[in-house]
Amino acid sequence: MIGMIKVGILGATGFTGEKLVEILLSHPEVKLTYIASRVKKSTLYSDIFPKFFKKTSLKCQPLKIKKAIDSCDLLFLSLPHTVSMKFVPKILAKGKKVIDLSADYRFKKSSTYKIFYKKEHQDKKNLKKSVYGLTELFKEKIKKAQLIANPGCYPTSIIIALYPLLAEKLVKGKIVIDSKSSITGSGRRATIDYHYSNVANNFWAYKPFIHQHQPEVAEVLGEKLTKSLSFSFLPQVASFESGIYSTIHLSFKKKVNKEKLNRIYNKYYQDSPFIRISDKLPKLKDAAGTNFSDIGFAVDKKGYEAIVVSSLDNLVKGAAGQAVQNMNLMFGLEETTGLLLL
Amino acid sequence: MIGMIKVGILGATGFTGEKLVEILLSHPEVKLTYIASRVKKSTLYSDIFPKFFKKTSLKCQPLKIKKAIDSCDLLFLSLPHTVSMKFVPKILAKGKKVIDLSADYRFKKSSTYKIFYKKEHQDKKNLKKSVYGLTELFKEKIKKAQLIANPGCYPTSIIIALYPLLAEKLVKGKIVIDSKSSITGSGRRATIDYHYSNVANNFWAYKPFIHQHQPEVAEVLGEKLTKSLSFSFLPQVASFESGIYSTIHLSFKKKVNKEKLNRIYNKYYQDSPFIRISDKLPKLKDAAGTNFSDIGFAVDKKGYEAIVVSSLDNLVKGAAGQAVQNMNLMFGLEETTGLLLL
Amino acid sequence: MIGMIKVGILGATGFTGEKLVEILLSHPEVKLTYIASRVKKSTLYSDIFPKFFKKTSLKCQPLKIKKAIDSCDLLFLSLPHTVSMKFVPKILAKGKKVIDLSADYRFKKSSTYKIFYKKEHQDKKNLKKSVYGLTELFKEKIKKAQLIANPGCYPTSIIIALYPLLAEKLVKGKIVIDSKSSITGSGRRATIDYHYSNVANNFWAYKPFIHQHQPEVAEVLGEKLTKSLSFSFLPQVASFESGIYSTIHLSFKKKVNKEKLNRIYNKYYQDSPFIRISDKLPKLKDAAGTNFSDIGFAVDKKGYEAIVVSSLDNLVKGAAGQAVQNMNLMFGLEETTGLLLL
Amino acid sequence: MIGMIKVGILGATGFTGEKLVEILLSHPEVKLTYIASRVKKSTLYSDIFPKFFKKTSLKCQPLKIKKAIDSCDLLFLSLPHTVSMKFVPKILAKGKKVIDLSADYRFKKSSTYKIFYKKEHQDKKNLKKSVYGLTELFKEKIKKAQLIANPGCYPTSIIIALYPLLAEKLVKGKIVIDSKSSITGSGRRATIDYHYSNVANNFWAYKPFIHQHQPEVAEVLGEKLTKSLSFSFLPQVASFESGIYSTIHLSFKKKVNKEKLNRIYNKYYQDSPFIRISDKLPKLKDAAGTNFSDIGFAVDKKGYEAIVVSSLDNLVKGAAGQAVQNMNLMFGLEETTGLLLL
């Protein structure tokens, strides 16, 4: 690289935007040149979030897309779903790169998008160009991409765990995915449901059979999924401060054991510095705050049933961290740059 | 009833024993006459747990089984597994009633006990007499029992949710049970694993495929289980202060819908004041601290898959509360006495 | 008592209103006949708060003051400040009793009210009649009162701890009161400040020198306060789910020791079943969920300095519990009725 | 600097040792060459703490002091009190630098040490050489020191807040310091008191008037303290995961206002990159995980009373972070190196 990468963030005051700022401030090859959100006037970012006082003197600005494009090589879009697609065409037209953390460019089929996000897609042209940014699976495409659709947090957690087993055509029958997430996954919103007293010491399941991340997983796993496979995905809210912990119950066509699963996972992820594989079940806190994705598993005595656990930080590997990992690849950097020691 | 029931607790300083004291102190038909634990000398219970100061002047005593038997009509045994079976024969011999909250009398087959609790059963004779105290299922037997094996917390959570569907022979294939429990389920133990810093904001799975509650469920559901059914049970530790939240993923032989599940659950539990059925998924906190068992469910669009959620307080309905519910029946009281408004 | 006391709650969906319902449902001498809040139409209380399902079939109604008055002997007003004073005159006029949990009738001087609650008092006439409901201090007046101004949570915590020492004229100089409260003290409000992520693992001080509870304490302690005394009161938000923990640092005119403080506190509170005095410092959780007020203290070696800790549940002894304690007295019941074993 | 600083940690598995590893792994001028603890044999650090898997392949070794000295330029001693003083003389004798995080070298007077740590000091000679490592106050001495006594967490929090006001001779009368700390301040110990269930949602004061950090503060502030000043210090345990939040109530000899306090704090800390001064009261979480020390204050209307809040992370600025800040100075680095963006 000659010079620093000039980077901007649109939507810098949500949980994901804030985490992006945090990560990018310590990234050795990045200069944060533009951050914007729904502020009314240019405001010190540390006045919005006092934790950044003396860490950065950046100002958060009312979003002006032209200014954003002009001042950056790449823009992270940490905007609500259905908003990103207004800006993406303009950014691409100027030859700048985009990593969109919303769902707007995740589905190849705009019809699926419409079903789950209740809106006609406004930028079908670029939809085709977008690369799904699950780094470990699409590294080569990501390196050449101009537009990345950064994965949802649940799908990241699920796909990383399932992909190798499905690619090996080992799995049969119903795959049960029971996922637990921090409330931060629902965004920084003032609602009585997210009041401290409603979340502390609480736990609940929601959107059974209808969560919008289910089709995302299905699309990405795509041809790996045969008709003989079915899914049951249940998202849940837990009171840990950050993280997603997915437990995946599945059955095999033929007998396996720990060693075999170890070999398979290592085969697919040997060049993936952020995947940590273990034949013990991980604890969530070991991944919290990091860009690691921890995969652990157990096989029953007979060898035809397994439980795979996938544990990661929903705001890091599940959002901002993976976005930066993708940025690294897009600019020819080591994928771990600025991410390994979070 | 003529007069109060004289009740004792052996093992009054564990989480379950403490909860028993709490519940029994406000029970209108009970007089707590004897509580014992591993104290060295008779000690004010409120000196051990200051929260009981001015609530009770009971003393906790070094366990003397003769004294215990003489002073009580019924004894709750809240002792470690393998310890209860030393005392039970003596208590029964004197014609007193016992509710054992350990696992010692839960298995009809002593061989299963040996596999999971690593010890030869010492009281096979009484094993046969014991009644499994899952109140909702065995009400009539409990009324006449002298010895109750109070169910484990996970099994209570699971069996209540599964029984009606299995009894109706609706379910096929693999039943996945993903359970999350408070750390209190592991007992009051000084270990670094249970240190505040290791549990707060953490979450982890443990004992995949080998938890001792799996055979307990299997034995109780017994003939309801056909060869075509299999289980995957995963216990997990969450950082909520109390509770078990089990999510059960299952498939049906024929098409169902919410209304049908509602009818089935209501058919089995219409006379069960502590079962609360809903076609919404419950939140854990609504059951926390109470003797209720909340059952909620969702059916997928096609009608062949469902998720059933079972939510309860692991120390109340999952232990001390259900024990008192059983006691009520054994003494001819309303089963809700002293329990409804916890 | 002949017959049950018919009781209503105006404002039944705030934290305090909900706690009142919980306590009153298990009160042996009370029939909850009317509960109202800002609902649009009559709604099952258990539809608003599912935890009450199968505990009560009460309906929460849109507030109709005439209906409220007609159906009750006593009304608890758990309404926002400045709202209660609209209803109180009507209730009193019909000869019914009122316990107002807002600040509207706490100050004898309406001018103080205006300064801190930013509104002219609308019912100065009844202000004079109101009795400040700090049960332990004003028991005799409460027994005869028609209108009780139930104390604020911080003042309850502070006054109980300070009163005996001030009454004995022991204290001199500056009294520092450092209080930590659960966020529930600020009411059930949808604001980003109370979002789980902002409160969990956080801690902060607020309103230094200007909290509205400071003048409440000053007025109640009244003539006990001489010119030689001054206060520094700091309210803080902690992430425990319920409670107030006040640590009070003070100096003495003459030498004291633990025994002396013990004697003084016992002298003033010997007939107070809810005051628990100890020469050890209490832990918050021992009082959480109860109507107890725990007082502990320590004296320095020289005997001229002490720290007094006052610990209670802000929603129980600091609000709903004390209100019921007052109700008991107003109706000639034992003050502990329905409260001792919460 | 020519080459990396070779650094070792004795006591790498306590909370502070672990935090040191975390910080030093990302320090650009440090090579961690030796880490030791009470392990029985050389063990991958990531086997002890799985969160370090793929972050470091360091092994934790049984402590061999000769090996430690030979392989390092500087040793951090994160050992229990009374253990450090066995090793320090040997390290100094070999010309290596030491930062001791225990209390062993904090008191100039060994008699004070004996009173509070119940043991005769074993290395009085080096006691005199040690420099108290409160970076902001003793920067020049630290630069030249061979032995640093790293401050206690409470003293760091208190001294930073008080020093400027005392140095300006503004304060009079009693200074009340009410401090709340994470349980991590008590070390990683398996005791029932630190069990999750005893700490979650709890809060308590301990060691009133006798905490060992009180004399540490007194000694450091030293001649700044006149006879007219007295202290009341109360340490407390809160359930936040990390941090110390000290609220300091004090009185002034002459009238002050916010602007004046701002000027004073800025005068003393203008060259202190980790001190963040504000005339608002800080929230704990803004400093959590960082090396910042947040100072906020409020003055009452009359101008003779103030509350100063001091908020920091007990394991970072209160221990490991400040230790690294001192190391930076001892090796001629910018004091912020590797610390600013934690």
- Express each pLDDT in C168-194 by its tens digit: 999 999 999 999 999 999 999 999 999
* Per-residue pLDDT tens digits for A54-76: 999 999 999 999 999 999 999 99
What's the distance, Cα to Cα, between the start and end of chain C in Å?
A: 22
Choose among B274, B259, B176: nearest CA to B217: B176
pLDDT of residue B1: 47
Q: Does A243 touch chain B (CB under 8 A)?
A: yes
Structure tokens at D92: 């100094």
pLDDT of residue B213: 83
pLDDT of residue B44: 98
Contact C54 B273 (CB under 8 A): yes
Decide: A273 and D54 in contact? Cβ < 8 Å.
yes
Q: Where residue A210 falls among pLDDT bands split at 50, 70, 90?
A: confident
Q: Domain ranges in chain A?
A: 5-151+318-330, 154-313
Q: How far is B329 from chain C (nearest CA, A)?
A: 20
* Per-residue pLDDT tens digits for B152-170: 999 999 999 999 999 999 9
Contact A239 C196 (CB under 8 A): yes
pLDDT of residue A214: 84
CATH 3.40.50.720 fits C5-129, yes or no: yes
* Per-residue pLDDT tens digits for B95-142: 999 999 999 999 988 998 998 889 999 999 999 999 999 999 999 999
pLDDT of residue B228: 79
Sign of torsion over alpha carbons B334, B337, B342, C5: positive
Look at residue A30 and give its three-state secondary structure: strand
Q: Does D257 touch chain A (CB under 8 A)?
A: no
Rounded to the nearest integer, the mean pLDDT of chain A is 95
* Per-residue pLDDT tens digits for C290-339: 999 999 999 999 999 999 999 999 999 999 999 999 999 999 999 999 99
Choose among A329, A313, A235: nearest CA to A15: A313
Strands B74-77 and B97-100: parallel
User: H helices then E strands: how many in chain A?
Assistant: 12, 15
Tokens 């609360």, residue?
A: B276
Q: How far apart are CA A73 and CA A4, in angstroms?
A: 10
Q: Does the model's ipTM exceed the 0.90 cut?
A: yes
Q: Does C283 touch chain B (CB under 8 A)?
A: yes
Active site residue B60: no
Strands of D97-100's sheet, edge to edge?
D43-44, D59-62, D30-37, D5-10, D74-77, D97-100, D147-149, D131-132
pLDDT of residue D1: 47
Look at residue B297 and give its three-state secondary structure: strand
* Per-residue pLDDT tens digits for A148-176: 999 999 999 999 999 999 999 999 999 99
- Per-residue HEC secondary structure of chain D comes to CCCCEEEEEECCCCHHHHHHHHHHHCCCCEEEEEEEECCCCCEEHHHHCHHHCCCCCCEEEECCHHHHHHHCCEEEECCCCCCHHHHHHHHHHCCCEEEECCCCCCCCCHHHHHHHHCCCCCCHHHHHHCEECCCCCCHHHHHHCCEEECCCHHHHHHHHHHHHHHHCCCEEEEEEEEEEECHHHHCCCCCHHHEHHHHCCCCEECCCCCCCHHHHHHHHHHHHCCCCEEEEEEEEECCCCCCEEEEEEEEECCCCCHHHHHHHHHHHHCCCCCEEEECCCCEHHHCCCCCCEEEEEEECCCCCEEEEEEEECCCHHHHHHHHHHHHHHHCCCCCCCCCCCC
pLDDT surpassing 80 at residue D144: yes
Tell me the chain D residues in contact with residue C238 when contact means C-beta distances shorter than 8 Å: 180, 203, 238-239
Q: How far is C204 from chain A (nearest CA, A)?
A: 13
- Selecting from D205, D288, D298 the residue whose C-beta is nearest the C-beta of C201 gives D288
Amino acid at C29: E
Contact D50 A340 (CB under 8 A): no
* Per-residue pLDDT tens digits for A165-208: 999 999 999 999 999 999 999 999 999 999 999 999 999 999 99
Q: Where residue B225 falls among pLDDT bands split at 50, 70, 90?
A: confident
Helix A153-167 to helix A213-221 angle, to the nearest 10 degrees?
A: 30
What's the average model confidence in pLDDT over D39-65? 97
What's the average model confidence in pLDDT over D257-269? 97
Burial group, residue B157, by CB count within 10 angstroms (0-12, 13-18, 19+): buried
Decide: B101 and B127 in contact? Cβ < 8 Å.
no
* Per-residue pLDDT tens digits for D81-118: 999 999 999 999 999 999 999 999 999 889 989 988 89
* Per-residue pLDDT tens digits for B264-305: 999 999 999 999 999 899 999 999 999 999 999 999 999 999
Decide: A82 and A131 in contact? Cβ < 8 Å.
no
Q: How far is CA D239 from the centre of its chain?
A: 20
Strands of B244-252's sheet, edge to edge?
B204-205, B229-238, B171-182, B244-252, B305-312, B293-299, B275-278
Choose among D17, D174, D154: nearest CA to D80: D17
Sign of torsion over alpha carbons D169, D175, D180, D186: positive
pLDDT of residue C2: 59
Q: How far apart are CA D321 and CA D78, in angstroms?
A: 13
pLDDT of residue B2: 59
Exposure class string for B214-253: b at 16+ Cβ within 10 A, else e: bbbbebbbeebbeeebebbbbbbbbbbbbbbbbbbbbbbe
Contact C204 D178 (CB under 8 A): no
Structure tokens at D16: 């502070």
What's the average model confidence in pLDDT over A19-42? 97
- Selecting from C25, C26, C276 the residue whose C-beta is nearest the C-beta of B54 gives C276
pLDDT of residue C227: 75
Phi, psi angles (nearest 5°) of residue C206: -150, 165
Q: How far apart are CA B29 and CA B35, in angstroms?
A: 17
pLDDT surpassing 70 at residue D130: yes
Q: Does A194 touch chain C (CB under 8 A)?
A: yes
Q: How far is D283 from chain C (nearest CA, A)?
A: 5
Decide: C13 and C38 in contact? Cβ < 8 Å.
yes
CATH architecture, range A154-313: 2-Layer Sandwich (3.30)
Q: Does C106 touch chain B (CB under 8 A)?
A: no
pLDDT of residue C240: 97
* Per-residue pLDDT tens digits for C73-106: 999 999 999 999 999 999 999 999 999 999 999 9
Choose among D175, D154, D232: nearest CA to C247: D232
Strands of D171-181's sheet, edge to edge?
D204-205, D229-237, D171-181, D244-252, D305-312, D293-299, D275-278
Q: Does D176 touch chain C (CB under 8 A)?
A: yes
pLDDT of residue C1: 46
pLDDT of residue A213: 83
Q: How far apart are CA D144 and CA D133, in angstroms?
A: 12
- Selecting from B178, B240, B251 the residue whose C-beta is nearest the C-beta of A239 gives B240
Tell me the chain D residues in contact with residue A51 when contact means C-beta distances shorter than 8 Å: 285-287, 290
pLDDT surpassing 80 at residue D245: yes
Radius of gyration, CA atoms only, chain C: 20
pLDDT of residue D213: 83
- Selecting from D188, D195, D241 the residue whose C-beta is nearest the C-beta of B201 gives D241
Single out the catalytic residue among C32, C63, C68, C153.
C153
pLDDT surpassing 70 at residue A1: no
What's the average model confidence in pLDDT over C126-153? 97
- Selecting from C49, C55, C276 the residue whose C-beta is nearest the C-beta of B53 gives C276
Q: D267: which residues sit within 8 A by CB, 6+ positions away?
A: D164
pLDDT surpassing 90 at residue D228: no
> What Å distances lie between residue A100 and A84, A105, A155, A211, C153, CA to CA?
7, 7, 15, 20, 48
Contact D190 B188 (CB under 8 A): no
Mutate one of A15, A192, A197 to test the C interface: name it (highest C CB count within 10 A).
Answer: A197
Tokens 């009398």, residue?
A: B105
Decide: B74 and B98 in contact? Cβ < 8 Å.
yes
pLDDT surpassing 90 at residue D321: yes
Rounded to the nearest integer, the mean pLDDT of chain D is 95
What's the average model confidence in pLDDT over B219-237? 86
Q: Does C236 touch chain D (CB under 8 A)?
A: yes
pLDDT surpassing 90 at residue A3: no
Q: Where residue D7 falls among pLDDT bands split at 50, 70, 90?
A: very high
Q: How far apart are CA A249 and CA B231, in angstroms?
A: 10
Tell me the chain A residues in contact with residue D285 when contact means C-beta distances shorter than 8 Å: 51
Contact A196 C192 (CB under 8 A): no
What's the average model confidence in pLDDT over A110-127? 92
pLDDT of residue C225: 75
pLDDT of residue D2: 60
Q: How far apart are CA C12 and CA D157, in angstroms?
A: 43
**DSSP labels for A68-97?**
HHHT-SEEEE---TTTHHHHHHHHHHTT-E
CATH 3.90.1150.10 fits B5-151+318-330, yes or no: no
pLDDT of residue D210: 85
Superfamily classification of domain C154-314: Dihydrodipicolinate Reductase; domain 2 (3.30.360.10)
